[in-house]
Amino acid sequence: MRLTLGFSPCPNDTFMFDALVHQKVDTEGLDFEVILEDVETLNRMALERQLDITKLSFNAFLHASSDYILLQSGSALGKNCGPLLISKLDKSLLNSNSKVAIPGKYTTANSLFKLAFPAYKNTREFLFSEIENAVLNGDVEAGVIIHENRFTYEQKGLHKVMDLGKYWESYTKLPIPLGGIAISRKFSLEIQQKVQRLLKQSIEFAFKNPKSSEEYVCQYAQEMSYDVMQKHIQLYVNEYSVSLGDEGRKAINYLFERNNIHSKNIFVNL
C-alpha cells in the first residue's frame, strides 16, 4: 500500500522520518510517497485533504481534526522551544498598529502570538525563513520566528521582545504544542496504528543511530551550519516525539478546549 506523506525539510522532521522513508525499519508492506514542504504549505494541504499522512501545526489541526486524527508519535512539543517575537526596535516602540511578520495564518506560532498580543492585528504572512530579513529590511517592525531562526537572530543584530513559548508555559503550566503528524480518518484503525507504530520505530532508530540520518538531514539543511542543525534536532525531537504521554495529550487537549473545539477522539489509540 502506497501512502502520501508530507513533512518539512527541517532537521527535526528529516531526522525522525529518515529510517521510515529509507526502509531502515520494516515498513510492514507500506510504501511512502514523500512530499517535502514548509509547514504552512502542509497546513493548507491538510485543510484541503490532499495528503494521507502529514506534518501540520497544532493550530491547523484544530481546523482539520474532522478529516485527520493525530498520531501519538512524531510530534514537536516541549519546554523552552517555542516561537520568539523579535525586532530591531525597543519593545516600548512597538504598539498594536505595528506590522508583525508571522510564518503563516495556521501556524501554532501565530496562535501563540495572538494569545500574548491579542490587540496586534496588523500581521503579514511570510515564509518562516524570510522573517528575519523582513524585520532587518524594515518591511515589518517585528516578526515571529520559528525553527532554526531561534539560533541565528542575535547574530543579525535582532533582539528578543518575548519568548512566546515561555508565555504559554507560564499561562498553562504545560509543554508547548507546536506540531504533530496526522493521518487521514479514511484509513482503518489497523492502518492508522501501523503507521503510528512504524513512525515510533523510525524515531527510536534515529536516536539509537544518530549518524544514520545525517546524510538525509544535511541534504535539506545545506544552508545551515552543522552546529545549528544539531541544536535544531535536540530542541524539537524529544520524549514527546517518541510518544505524547499524558502530559503531551493534556497540552493538545487544552489547545482544543481554549478554542472551544470538541476534542473527543483526536488521537490514534496506542
Q: What is the pLDDT of residue 203?
A: 98
Residue 84 has pLDDT above 80, yes or no: yes
The residue whose grid cell reads 504544542 is 177
Per annotation, catalytic residue among 147, 159, 232, 262: 147
Comparison of pLDDT for 80 and 250, the residue scoring more: 250
Residues 214 and 191 in one domain: yes
Asked if residue 95 and residue 226 are part of one domain, the reply reads: no
Q: Does residue 69 lie in a domain region?
A: yes
pLDDT at 150 > cutoff 90: no
Strands 68-70 and 84-87: unpaired
Can you give the residue range of the structural domain that contains 105?
84-172
Same domain? For 34 and 57 the reply is yes
Q: Is residue 162 a part of any domain in this protein? A: yes
Overall number of domains in the chain: 2
Are 96 and 50 members of one domain?
Answer: no
Grid cell 500581521 is found at: 123
Last residue of a domain, one of 172, 207, 228: 172
218 and 183 assigned to the same domain: yes
Alpha helices (H) along the chain: 11-21, 39-47, 58-64, 108-116, 131-136, 164-172, 189-208, 214-219, 226-236, 239-242, 245-258
- Residue 74 and residue 181 share a domain: yes
Q: Quote the pLDDT of residue 263.
A: 67
Q: Which of 61, 85, 197 is nearest to 143 (CA)?
A: 85
Residue 268 lies in a domain: no
Residue at a domain's end among 142, 172, 202: 172
**How much is the pLDDT for 129?**
87
Looking at residue 153, which CATH number applies to its domain?
3.40.190.10
Residues 69, 183, single domain; the answer is: yes
Alpha helices in 127-268 (DSSP H): 131-136, 164-172, 189-208, 214-219, 226-236, 239-242, 245-258
Q: Are residues 157 and 180 in the same domain?
A: no
Q: If we measure between CA atoms, which residue out of 243, 264, 261 comes closest to residue 71?
A: 243
Residue 114 has pLDDT above 80, yes or no: yes
- The answer as to whether 266 is a domain residue is no
Report yes or no on 167 lying in a domain.
yes
Q: Does the annotation mark 147 as catalytic?
A: yes
- 149-165: burial string, b at 16+ Cβ within 10 Å, e else: bbbebeeeebeebbbbb
Task: Mark whether 51 and 68 lie in a shared domain.
Answer: yes
265 located within any domain: no
Tens digit of each residue's pLDDT (9 = 90 or more) over 165-182: 999 999 899 999 999 999
Q: Do 155 and 194 lie in a common domain? A: no
Given 172, 189, 207, the domain boundary residue is 172
Q: 121 lies in a domain?
A: yes
Specify whether 70 is located in the same domain as 92. Answer: no
Q: Domain for residue 30, yes or no?
A: yes
Residue 82: predicted pLDDT: 87
Mean pLDDT of 93-115: 92
Asked if residue 182 and residue 61 are part of one domain, the reply reads yes
CA-to-CA separations, 126 to 79, 143, 145, 236, in angstroms, rounded: 25, 9, 10, 22
